[in-house]
Each structure stands twice: as structure tokens, then as C-alpha cells.
Chain A
Amino acid sequence: MLEQTARSMLCVKNLEAWYGESHILHGVSFEVQPGEVVTLLGRNGVGKTTTLKSIMGIVERRAGSVRFEGCETIGLPSDAIARLGLAFCPEERGIFSSLDVRENLLLPPQVRPGGLELERIFTLFPNLRERLRSQGTKLSGGEQQMLAIARILRTGARLLLLDEPTEGLAPVIIQQIGQTIGTLKAQGFTMLLVEQNFQFAASVADRHYVMETGRIIDQFTTPELKANMGKLHDYLGV
């Protein structure tokens, strides 16, 4: 166990977070190993998004410990955290309307060598190549989601935090995003995913943490899911 902690890419311990007066996270602890795809599951409002934002350093106040590749980030501002090699894809996608698709794609600066080449990104997301001159927010929901993922692949970040990448999208596009996550995993990207879509989570991830009221209350590997469907039904209310 100790050895595993030492090799963790991301190690979160007793993470607490607040928005103004409200205490959202009450001591979240979990780990992500290099090359893994891990999901945070749970009902609405249990603190999944806040967990991602706290790791990225964009909540008002946080406490506890978040170590990325052994480096403590709890006291760092979000720009310094990003430069360590983490990248965030927000739930609302965060496509900039005053930037065209190309500018949106090129916006995040390279934080490390080894990001994907543009050509490689266009093979993953062929739609984007044809829309480079369009205003960012004129794209369809699915295309915006692809743009939001695509732009953090260039930067050399090795850990991607994806907040509900399938929300509000058509099944065929969800399938495409699932394939993309598989491809990225094969290329050595590590991903931490927040998901409401349990089927999707089961199809792309290696391990799952279940959250309730600002804490991790259980965890499963994907092969263990089937045997624990009853518990999951209770946790998620699906």
C-alpha cells in the first residue's frame, strides 16, 4: 500500500473545500495511478465537480493535501498547478465566444513537452478541422465538447480532469467520446472523470469511486461492478 502511494500520479488526502460559508468537501481521499482512467460517481450535489475544481485550485478555499507526482499543490494558485501537468475540461465546456475555433484550440499554453500534435488532434476530431474559422460557441454541443477536450491534449498535460464529458450529448457522440478516451488511455494519458452516466463510466474506466455528501464512501474496479449492482443502485439512485 505504501509503495503504491509513492507511485501515485495523484494522491488526494483529507481534501476539504468551501464556497463562501458552505462546506462542500469533508475530507475526500483517493488516488489515481499513472495510465489509469478513474471516475467519481455519485448523485447531483455530492461534491464531484468541486473535487475536480479543488484539485485544479479554482475553489475559494481548500485544505488537506493534493499531491501530483509527489508535489504538494494545496498552497499553489491554479496557473502554477496547471504548469505541473494537469488540465481541466469543465462541465460547461468553457468555449470562448470571442475566440474562433482555432484560437480556442491554441489557447492553453504548452506546460510540458510531449503534447499531441495538431495533426494528431484532427485525426481524433476530424470535425474541428473543418470549423477552424467558426466562432467557438457556434459549434454544436458535441463539437464544443470535442474542442474542450482537444485543446487540453496539446499542452503536454499528463493528467486530464474531465467533468461530465457526455452531459447532454446524443448517444452516437457519447460513443465517439468513449472511443476517444480509449485512444487517449492507450497513448498513456491518465484521466479522472466525473460522470452521471453510469453505463458510460463502466465502459471507459478502470476504477470507480462513489461520493456522498462530500466524502468518498466506496470504491470498485470495473470487473467488480456487476457483483455490486445492488449497492450502486442505492448509492446512485439509478
Chain B
Amino acid sequence: MSSRALLTEKIAFFCLLLCTLIIVIPVILITAVIVKNGIAGLSWEFLTQSPRLGMRAGGIFPAIVGTVYLVLGTMLFALPVGILAAVYLTEYAKDNWLTRVIDIAIVNLAGVPSVVYGLFGLGLFVVFLKFGASIIAGSLTLAIMSLPVIITASREALNTVPQSFREVSLALGATRWQTIRHVVLPNSISGIVTGTILALSRAAGETAPILFTVAAFYLPRLPQSLFDQCMALPYHLYVLSTQVPNIKPHIQYGTALVLVLMIMIMNIVAIVIRSHFRKKKLW
């Protein structure tokens, strides 16, 4: 190897390292800024009280509760449909035009901008079905947005179950559904759960889909039913950073930190579940 080629290699690798650092260093800085400024805002009162004085004091409790409701609602709607859709695609679907159309539909659903989901939720759930701006309208909108991610992750999980497992079960006289229920699903549940939690963590941080379907600027009390509006952390952060003049930064950063922490906890739970089941895997 000529020394020139080696020199070129050194320069090239340095440039590649530089690219990586330009991406990674801001990530570290952003995290540091949020944690450093956010911790100053965190307190027991901040987490358990309603906002006061036009959001300039008090806490973010209703927004936390609202986001939890929305995540649970999203899971309720998206999880069963997502898993069954994945089961259809891996266990039942033949390689024909219908399956190809479903594939295209999933790819497209995944690419639809979140604000367009918001428009759709407004048109279908809020106006056409007359749910009004409500937890159910917001959850359904977020659920449809999460479906492609859950389907894709569940499909991958189902595909990792060896074909021989299914053949043995069928050979023993089990029906197709019994095979799925007792053999395929138990052996792929960790992948499905991991993918679902990741999809839900994304839904928890979304603002655009809930903007017209559920999010309330300020509510003095917690929502009483599925048909009530609620506050939500991402929208609350939007309000705090653009609509409230002369607000103390620690309230904004505190809200951002709580939202990021919530999403990180969901991600960590997903990773723990994945590695736990991976250890127990027998094949």
C-alpha cells in the first residue's frame, strides 16, 4: 500500500469522524441543557399541582395525567388491531396482490405527516362521528398513527418464530388459531411488546395529531370521561414556549424534562423486556 493511499484514508476517516461528531455532540449538549435547567424546575409541587397564574406558576399535573390517558387509550385501540394485522400478514396472507396492496398501505400510513393525521382525526372523529375534541378522538387518531409501527414490529417478531414450531403444532392436530394462540404468539410476545412500547413512546411525544382532536390549552379539573378534552405534555410545552410571555425558563425546561423522561422510561422498559426475553430464548 502506498503511503499516499494511507494518508487519503487517514483524512477520509477523520472527515467521517467529524460528520459523526457534528451529529452526536449537539445530542449530548441538548440533553445536558434540558437536564441542567429542567432539574431546577422539578419539585413535588411541580409534578402534583395544576398550573396557576396563567401557567407562570404551579405545576403540570393535569398535563401528565392527560398524556398517560392518551397513551393508554392509544394502546387499547392500536395493540389488538396491530397484533392481529401482523398475524394475518405472517400466518394467513398468501403472496398475492392483496398482500402487496396491504404492504403499500402500511408503508404509506407510516409516511403520512402527523399533522395530516390530525386533520383526519378532526374530520372523522371530532366532526363526522361527533365525538368532539375528546380523549377518545385523540387516542383513536394517535392509535391509527401508531398502527404501522406496531404492525411492522410485530411482523418481525412473528417471523423470528421458527417454521418448525408451527409444523409440530399442526402435526399434533392443533388448529391454525390454536397454533397461533399457544405456540406462535407466546414465542414472539417480547418482540411485539417491545415494538408496541416504542410506538407508544412516539405517540406520547406527538403534538400535531392532538392539536385539534383533544388538547386543551388549560383545564382546571381532570377529565371525567372519554368524551372530555384533556391537557397533554407536548401541547403544554408548545403553549409554554410560544403563547405565554414572561414565563420563567425553569417551568418550560421542567416540562420538557418530564416529557423526555417519560419517553426515556418507556424506551428503557422496552429494552429491558427485549434483553430479558432474549436470554430466555431457547433456539
A binds B: no
